[in-house]
Structure 1
Amino acid sequence: MLLLFTCLLLGALVARFAKPPSGIVHGINWWVINIALPALVLELMPRVKIDAQLWFPVAAMWVVFFGAWLLFATLGRWLGWSRERVGALTLVCGLGNTSFMGYPMMQALHGKEGLALAVVADQLGCFPLLSSAGVAVASWYAGKSPQPAVIARRILSFPAFLALVVGVIAGALGGWPAWADDVFVPIGATLTPLALFSVGLQFKFHLRPGQRSALVLGLGWKLALAPLAAWLLGRAAGVGGLTLTVGVLQAAMAPMISAAILADEHRLEPALANTILGAGIVLSLATVPLANLLLGG
């Protein structure tokens, strides 16, 4: 947790005082997504124990996204929100930061076993949702038509998804030799400091008039009601132990950076999306550990 706070603070301080070179965020994110994340997935996936409850961390991500869509589409009609606002809230409050923040927080709170379950929730739940339903929602509320072929190609060619498939196969064959882990472990270890440093570099908080209620309602869902809904689903289905805890905590994670970028690309009230992102990151540093305590973690 100390590493998490330190890297996040360093990123914010560098962005504020050091004037980092342009393109630094893009460069860091490229390494994290295309190198560090696949290496971490390759290391962890052969160790994941397949059991009957493993569906839950994935299903929890679907509950968060489609619950957000239903909630904000309904509130949008009642409150007279624009299509752009409904789309922005659905994206940033329906998709969680289950990798850049979820991985280091789950490792800090529950070690390697918790991190492996976090990878399952992210790679089989949140990332496919971003690439499919997320793109579809962004296109719909921006007045465009989503392209299924592009969505499928985006999922199947994503480096971490390919690493997940390879890691599952390696696990079925008995795991990696020791020399391979000696390569994957140090490369994967760069994900936590660089990801949190990147988040700090991008932190913004600019609330415009008339956006306060949307901010409160959006974060109320993402940080409180969504994890509660995931917990109710898990308890009703008889899920327990670390699988329940990690699934709920991933549901409680801060809004996803990529979702805010997607909203910005489709002009879905980007100022609101970025404000929710920044406020959610700060608040989640307290709400996720608190949820962990309530779950008995």
Structure 2
Amino acid sequence: MLQLFLILFFLVFGIVSRRWSFVPENASFYLNKFLIYVILPALALKYMPNIQLEKKLLLPVLTAWINFGVSWLLFGTLGRKLQWKRSLTGCLIIVAGLANTSFVGIPMVNALYGTEAVQLAFLIDQAGSFIIVSSVAIIVANIYGKGKKRKRDITKKILGFPPFIFFCFAILINVQGWKVPEFVLPVVDVLTAMLTPVALTAVGMQLNLRFSALSNRYLWMGLGYKLLLIPAIIFLLYRYLFGLDGLLFQVSVVETAMAPMITGSIIAISHDLEPKLASLLVGVGIPLSFLTVLGWYWTVG
């Protein structure tokens, strides 16, 4: 309960500090940089070298790909049938199809299931969500938007992303049976302990809630898919088809149930894919997901 309280506290602190100008306007930008360049690489060094690599770990990672694939199939089909604007279709595919598996997902999983589950959440984020948002999501944005991005630029972005570099390095340490130097571990422990306060404060600073826009039906279509439909699909698929249970099953469902990813909304906005809707999906989705994720937590046991 203390972990959940801290998550809510830092989220509210971020919202309040932005609203009342307790901190500089660009504080969230620097917090995000600190997360990406320092804390997430530290997480890789803390958890990945010790995880027991097995084929069954592919199933949690696969949830991110199923999420985006079903989103593309569903909203792409609805867009054609109902003659939506291409920008609307692209926005819903990308933003609803990507879960916030890192900045919100990892602290939530840690609070609900403990540190053992964090390595699974990090695996889902790096081998699933990050690769999708850096590649397939850009392709979708090019299809439905106006901007163009070369394949070479996409590859460069993936290979140059610090958490992904450290993720690959940590997997190499694991495979080779090496050990992270002892003197590094205390520093890594301190940095990873900063994840919840830094990530949730940064998320809170970036939330922009506009209650006048809550009547937007596309908002609720996107959130209905993200917070209810796709977690239900993963729940049924993984429980009854794959026969998964225990922590692997629980984390797979709960991470899928996370709110839309902020980076996904940024991609949609930068490609002029309904910027207001993209912001709204994140702004409403993150606080609402605290209730729906708890519902899925109780459902999966």
The answer to whether the superposition gives a TM-score over 0.5 is yes
Q: Tell me the distance in 2 between the aligned counterparts of 1:149 and 1:239.
A: 38
Q: 1:8 aligned to 2:11?
A: yes
Q: Tell me the distance in 1 between the aligned counterparts of 2:106 and 2:275.
A: 26
Whether the 8 Å CA contact 1:207–1:275 is kept in 2: the answer is no
Shift of 1:145: 4.0
Q: Which of residues 197, 208, 214 is equivalent to 1:204?
A: 208
Shift of 1:147: 1.7
Q: Which of residues 70, 73, 76 is equivalent to 1:73?
A: 76
Whether the 8 Å CA contact 2:68–2:98 is kept in 1: the answer is yes
Q: How does 1:174-193 map to 2 (within 5 A)?
A: 174-193=178-197
Higher mean displacement: 212-221 or 229-238: 229-238
Q: How does 1:23-34 map to 2 (within 5 A)?
A: 23-34=26-37
Alpha-carbon deviations, 1:139-196, whole Å to 9, x = none?
A: 2111344421111111111111111111112223243243221111111222221110
Q: 1:292 aligned to 2:297?
A: yes
Q: Which of residues 238, 243, 249 is equivalent to 2:243?
A: 238
The equivalent residue for 2:260 is 255
The equivalent residue for 1:217 is 221
Whether the 8 Å CA contact 2:13–2:201 is kept in 1: the answer is yes
What amino acid does structure 2 have at the position aligned with 1:275? L
Whether the 8 Å CA contact 1:140–1:146 is kept in 2: the answer is no
Q: Could you list the runs of 5+ residues in structure 1 that have no partner in the other structure?
A: none
Whether the 8 Å CA contact 2:147–2:271 is kept in 1: the answer is no
Q: Percent identity?
A: 38
The equivalent residue for 1:121 is 124
Q: Which of residues 232, 243, 252 is equivalent to 1:228?
A: 232
Q: How does 1:132-143 map to 2 (within 5 A)?
A: 132-143=135-146
Shift of 1:19: 5.0
Shift of 1:51: 2.0
Q: How does 1:132-171 map to 2 (within 5 A)?
A: 132-171=135-174
What amino acid does structure 1 have at the position aligned with 2:54? D
Q: Could you list the runs of 5+ residues in structure 2 that have no partner in the other structure?
A: none
Cα distance change of structure 1 residues 208 and 265 upon mapping to structure 2, 3 Å threshold: farther
What amino acid does structure 1 have at the position aligned with 2:79? G
Shift of 1:23: 1.7
Q: Secondary structure at the match of 2:114?
A: helix
Q: Which of residues 88, 91, 96 is equivalent to 1:93?
A: 96
What amino acid does structure 1 have at the position aligned with 2:248? T
RMSD: 1.6
Structure 1 segments (4+ residues) deviating >6 Å: 207-211
Whether the 8 Å CA contact 2:35–2:195 is kept in 1: the answer is yes
Q: Tell me the distance in 1 between the aligned counterparts of 2:48 and 2:237.
A: 25
Whether the 8 Å CA contact 2:18–2:25 is kept in 1: the answer is no
How many pairs align?
Answer: 296
Cα distance change of structure 1 residues 272 and 247 upon mapping to structure 2, 3 Å threshold: same
TM-score under structure 2 length normalisation: 0.94
The equivalent residue for 2:269 is 264
Whether the 8 Å CA contact 1:84–1:268 is kept in 2: the answer is yes
What amino acid does structure 2 have at the position aligned with 1:291? W
TM-score under structure 1 length normalisation: 0.95
Cα distance change of structure 1 residues 210 and 160 upon mapping to structure 2, 3 Å threshold: closer
